[in-house]
């Protein structure tokens, strides 16, 4: 269940109340007349099943509450109420499958910016991957995959394409197209420093790396894995199963490929450099393609569900 706290101009409160009362899956309606001070207005409280939340939020925005009032949404961890149980039963579908587009857009916007934090995580992840490649250590490579923050802007690209949001698309592309070169350049400098300190060497780079060779040898399976990761990642973001993102991070080789490209370029191995760039491109393209198609399927599914469901009055 979701808890909504609304601030409504007094002249729009009757329309807001009527909307909540006619929404499938909404309950626990309360109206506090004149309780709001900034902005001034009425406070309307209600709970709504997650699967019915997106449509209600869209209609509240159509009433202008996001412009002249306020819309705040919180997840309810526990609700002991028979009315809440009935609201969830009446709402179409399952809450875990529901997509809250406003929440998704907000989350991807926050995670897709070219910020100092994003660059720090991406750079540290790339450096960790470089250490893992030279040591041929699966543990270090997997750790670098987990630290990498690149799925945020990738999800932002998918969301922007589906919602036709050019500002989010630009923001996400800048994070990807500027973030990776910066991280790779800093990793290149890091490898030069480590080489000067005697911790890295060309001999270490040139010797066989059976554990990490996959990061610069893309094949058809690489694209398939990227497609599957894109589907899993988007479903994880749009549902309540956000913990699955860790598995998504481990399944793709974006950060290790970027790290190997930086190392190979520094040591003048153009074959591995090119292979690493291809691996990076294949993974980024596969995730964006699968993620966008997944969002389109989810959008189509829920639109059909809504058309089949009529309003339900709650006594």
Total domains, the chain: 2
Above 80 in pLDDT, residue 59? yes
Residue 184 CA, distance from chain mean position: 23
Q: Do 129 and 276 have their domain in common?
A: yes
Residues 91 and 213 in one domain: no
Does the residue 309 lie in any domain?
A: no
Residue with tokens 């897709």: 112
Q: Are 3 and 73 in contact (CB under 8 A)?
A: yes
Find out whether 267 and 205 touch, Cβ atoms under 8 Å.
yes
pLDDT value, residue 315 = 40
Cβ neighbors of 120 (< 8 A, separation 6 or more) are none
Residues 144 and 88 in one domain: no
Residue 40, beta-bridge partner list: 37
- How high is the pLDDT of residue 131? 94
The answer to whether 282 touches 218, Cβ cutoff 8 Å, is: yes
12 lies in the same domain as 153: no
Supply 50's token pair.
């997650």
Using CA atoms, how far residue 240 sits from 61, 119, 143, 236, 237, in Å, is: 24, 27, 24, 7, 7
- What CATH number is attached to the domain comprising 30? 3.30.70
Q: Does 23 share its domain with 166?
A: no
What pLDDT shows up at residue 252? 73
Q: Assess whether 114 and 77 both reside in one domain.
A: no
Query: pLDDT of 217-267, one tens digit each?
Result: 888 888 998 898 888 888 888 775 555 555 566 667 889 999 999 999 988
| Start-end of H helices in 25-115 | 50-62, 65-68, 82-90, 101-111
Q: What is the mean pLDDT of residues 91-110?
A: 72
CA 268 – CA 266 distance, rounded (Å): 6
| Range with the largest mean pLDDT of 191-195, 205-209, 250-254 | 191-195
Instruction: Check residue 313 and give its pLDDT.
Output: 43
Q: What is the CA radius of gyration of the chain?
A: 24
* Position 307 in a domain: no
The CA distance from 102 to 256, in Å, is 33
Give the whole-number percent of the chain exceeding pLDDT 70: 90
CA 12 to chain centre: 34
> Are the CB atoms for 24 and 92 separated by under 8 Å?
yes
Given a cut of 60, whether residue 271 has pLDDT beyond it is yes
Per-residue pLDDT band for 50 (boundaries 50, 70, 90) equals confident
The Cβ-side half-sphere exposure at 276, using a 13 Å CA radius, reads 24
Residue 244 is encoded by which pair of tokens? Answer: 């699955």
**Whole-angstrom Cα distance, residue 245 to residue 257?**
19
Q: What confidence tens digit (pLDDT) does each residue in 150-171 have?
A: 988 998 999 999 988 899 999 9
State how far Cα 287 lies from the chain centre.
12
Res 100 pLDDT > 90: no
Helix axes 116-135, 254-266, angle to 10 degrees: 70
Which range marks the domain in which residue 176 is found? 103-302
């Amino acid at each position: 269940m979701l808890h909504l706290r609304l601030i409504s101009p007094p002249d729009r409160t009757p329309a807001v109340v009527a909307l909540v009362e006619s929404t499938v899956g909404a309950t626990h309606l309360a109206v506090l007349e004149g309780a709001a001070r900034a902005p001034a207005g009425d406070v309307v409280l209600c709970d709504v099943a997650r699967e019915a939340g997106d449509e209600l939020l869209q209609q509240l925005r159509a009433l202008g509450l996001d412009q002249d009032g306020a819309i705040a949404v919180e997840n309810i961890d526990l609700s002991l109420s028979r009315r809440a149980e009935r609201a969830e039963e009446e709402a179409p579908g399952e809450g875990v499958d529901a997509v809250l587009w406003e929440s998704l857009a907000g989350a991807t916007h926050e995670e897709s910016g070219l910020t100092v934090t994003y660059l720090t995580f991406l750079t540290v992840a790339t450096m960790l991957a470089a250490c893992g490649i030279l040591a041929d250590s699966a543990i270090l490579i997997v750790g670098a995959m987990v630290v990498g923050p690149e799925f945020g802007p990738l999800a932002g690209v998918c969301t922007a394409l589906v919602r036709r949001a050019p500002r989010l698309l630009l923001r996400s592309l800048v994070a990807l197209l500027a973030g990776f070169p910066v991280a790779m350049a800093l990793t290149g400098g890091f490898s030069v420093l480590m080489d000067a300190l005697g911790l890295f060497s060309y001999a270490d780079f040139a010797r066989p790396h059976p554990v990490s060779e996959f990061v610069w040898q893309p094949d058809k399976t690489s694209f398939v894995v990227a497609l599957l990761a894109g589907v899993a990642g988007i479903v994880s973001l749009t549902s309540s199963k956000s913990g699955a993102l860790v598995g998504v991070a481990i399944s793709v080789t974006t950060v290790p490929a970027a790290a190997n490209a930086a190392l190979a370029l520094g040591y003048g191995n153009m074959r591995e450099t090119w292979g690493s760039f291809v691996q990076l491109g294949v993974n980024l393209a596969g995730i964006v393609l699968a993620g966008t198609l997944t969002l389109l399927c989810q959008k189509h599914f829920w639109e059909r569900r809504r058309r089949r469901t009529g309003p339900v009055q709650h006594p």
